[in-house]
Amino acid sequence: MEYRVLGKTGLKVSVVGVGGLGFATRGKLCTPDRNGLPEIVRIINRALDLGVNIFDTAYVYGGGIPEEGLGMVMKTRRKEAVILSRTHVYQVSDKPEETAASLETSLRRLQTDTVDIYQLHDVSSPESFRKVIDCGIYDVLKKAKKEGKVRFIGFSTHGGYEVAKMMIETGDVDVLTVSYNILHRKRSAGDRENLRETSEKLFPLAKKHDIGITVMKPLGGSSLMSPDEKGKSLSALKLIRYVVQNPYVHAVTPGIDNMKQLEEDVKAGDPAYGLTGQDIREFEEEAGKWGSEFCRQCGYCRPCPREINIPAVLKNLMEWRRTRKESVIESYKKLEARASSCIACKVCEERCPYHLPISGMMSEASEAFENV
């Protein structure tokens, strides 16, 4: 495992970490009965054994179960880990005390007195950035840092270069978490994230200010690994290694939900699996088959008032666009609620950090899968 210094924090982190959102969005590890906790604990312990030391989670993920699982391991292995957590509470309350309370909850779940890195979650527009500054919400993090409850602070964002630049210019940011993967382009007309700008403008600016950079969505919520019409899919190891080989990136935290996936993903932290220039050119060409409207399976669009499993519908739609395989139709038919149930209320579009035209995509899915 390769390690890098996380900017001004001085923390030495593994270039590949574990993203807690994977526990919450795939498999059955975050159910109300908490039966998945032993497996989460097992995965985290194995990750530490493999040299992984940075763990990315959040107050909202899986109803707090990923934080609880990490906390169970931290009882005996706290010194081996760098914990990165974050809160989204400002999105539902502009009261600073609510954000402070969410931090206290995370500390209890994580069974620690101090979180290494704490962020405001998904601050992705100039308006949301001004809100957290003007309402004193980011001051909560600065105060917690002074009190020793957190060591370093920052933001996670899907907002692109201009919003990240505003954050950096405050002078009070230690670590930023941003999306970055092989798709060097906007994924829809309204998408604020332009990953080419992230690579060419944001990363150099962060380095100038010695800001730590951690990367989410290296696999596009695993959607980049969906097979094409010939059954061929992109390699998770290569997708993660592609991100790791960017020298501006300090750590990448793919979502993990099973042991086999962990064992494979961690290999990307070994320089022996490095990609050559020719490898990268071929890989970028191969990745070009993904279209301009690309769902990362984050699930922030949910819940749907019509109980549509939006990420599942969009995953089927993206695969259908590329493959036209009958198996995709069969997969769609297993969903309980159909895309045709969509009433175009567009609440999901307001929630989507990537500003996908979800209601239009629902219509497309209905036409593709229900009229055959």
Residue 188: which pLDDT band, with cuts at 50, 70 and 90? Answer: very low
CA angle 308, 312, 318 (to 5 degrees): 125
The pLDDT tens digits of the residues spanning 143-156 come to 999 999 999 999 99
Classify residue 88: in a domain, yes or no.
yes
Which of 12-26, 85-99, 168-182, 281-295 is the least confident region?
281-295
The pLDDT of residue 1 is above 90 = yes
CA–CA dist 24, 273 (Å, integer): 29
Q: Are strands 12-14 and 3-5 parallel, antiparallel or unpaired?
A: antiparallel
Residue 228: which pLDDT band, with cuts at 50, 70 and 90? Answer: low
CA–CA dist 125, 35 (Å, integer): 37
The pLDDT of residue 352 is above 70 = yes
Q: Tell me if 65 sits within 8 A of 94, measured CB to CB.
A: no
CA–CA dist 201, 165 (Å, integer): 9
Classify residue 7: in a domain, yes or no.
yes
Q: Are strands 54-56 and 82-87 parallel, antiparallel or unpaired?
A: parallel
CA–CA dist 336, 306 (Å, integer): 11
Domain residues for the domain of 349 are 310-370
Output the pLDDT for position 236: 86
Output the pLDDT for position 150: 98
**pLDDT, average across residues 166-182:** 93
Please provide residue 19's backbone torsions phi and psi, each rounded to the nearest 5 degrees: -95, 120
326 plus 260 within the same structural domain = no
The pLDDT tens digits of the residues spanning 93-116 come to 999 999 999 999 999 999 999 999
Question: Dihedral (C-alpha) 269, 298, 157, 234: value to the nearest 10 degrees?
Answer: 40
CA–CA dist 123, 191 (Å, integer): 14
The pLDDT of residue 306 is above 50 = yes
54 plus 111 within the same structural domain = yes
What's the whole-number average pLDDT of the chain?
A: 89
CA–CA dist 217, 235 (Å, integer): 14
Q: With both helix axes pointing from N to C terminus, report the angle between 161-168 and 126-134 in degrees, rounded to the nearest 10.
A: 20
Output the pLDDT for position 174: 97
CA–CA dist 279, 44 (Å, integer): 31
Output the pLDDT for position 186: 46
| CATH code, domain carrying 281 | 3.20.20.100
Q: Which helix (H) or strand (E) holds 13?
A: strand 12-14
Classify residue 9: in a domain, yes or no.
yes
Classify residue 302: in a domain, yes or no.
no
CA–CA dist 332, 330 (Å, integer): 5
268 plus 366 within the same structural domain = no
**pLDDT, average across residues 227-243:** 78
211 plus 314 within the same structural domain = no
Output the pLDDT for position 296: 75
**Is the model more confident about 83 or about 351?**
83
Coil, helix or strand for 82? strand
CA–CA dist 265, 31 (Å, integer): 25
Residue 16: which pLDDT band, with cuts at 50, 70 and 90? Answer: very high
Candidates 248, 317, 235; CA nearest to 283 is 235
88 plus 33 within the same structural domain = yes
Output the pLDDT for position 189: 47
- Count of the separate structural domains present in the chain: 2
195 plus 341 within the same structural domain = no
Output the pLDDT for position 277: 87
| Structure-token pair, residue 74 | 């931290």
222 plus 135 within the same structural domain = yes
Most confident range (mean pLDDT) of 11-15, 91-95, 169-173, 195-199 is 11-15
322 plus 266 within the same structural domain = no
172 plus 316 within the same structural domain = no
**pLDDT, average across residues 299-307:** 90
210 plus 319 within the same structural domain = no
191 plus 64 within the same structural domain = yes
Residue 197: which pLDDT band, with cuts at 50, 70 and 90? Answer: confident
Range 250-264 burial, b when 16+ CB lie within 10 A, else e: bbbbbbbbeeebbee
The pLDDT of residue 265 is above 70 = yes
The pLDDT of residue 270 is above 50 = yes
The pLDDT tens digits of the residues spanning 203-226 come to 999 999 999 999 998 887 666 666
Classify residue 26: in a domain, yes or no.
yes
Classify residue 297: in a domain, yes or no.
no
Q: Could you say which of 287, 319, 340 is where a domain stops?
A: 287
CA–CA dist 111, 50 (Å, integer): 23
278 plus 358 within the same structural domain = no
Q: Tell me if 44 sits within 8 A of 318, measured CB to CB.
A: no
Q: With both helix axes pointing from N to C terminus, report the angle between 65-77 and 96-110 in degrees, rounded to the nearest 10.
A: 50
**pLDDT, average across residues 122-149:** 95
DSSP-assigned letter for residue 216: E
Classify residue 304: in a domain, yes or no.
no
Classify residue 164: in a domain, yes or no.
yes
Output the pLDDT for position 223: 62
Please give the share of the chain, as a percent, with pLDDT higher than 90.
66
List, in order, residues 6 or more apart from 216 with CB less than 8 Å away.
19, 21, 56, 156, 177, 178, 179, 252, 253
Q: Tell me if 2 sits within 8 A of 15, measured CB to CB.
A: yes
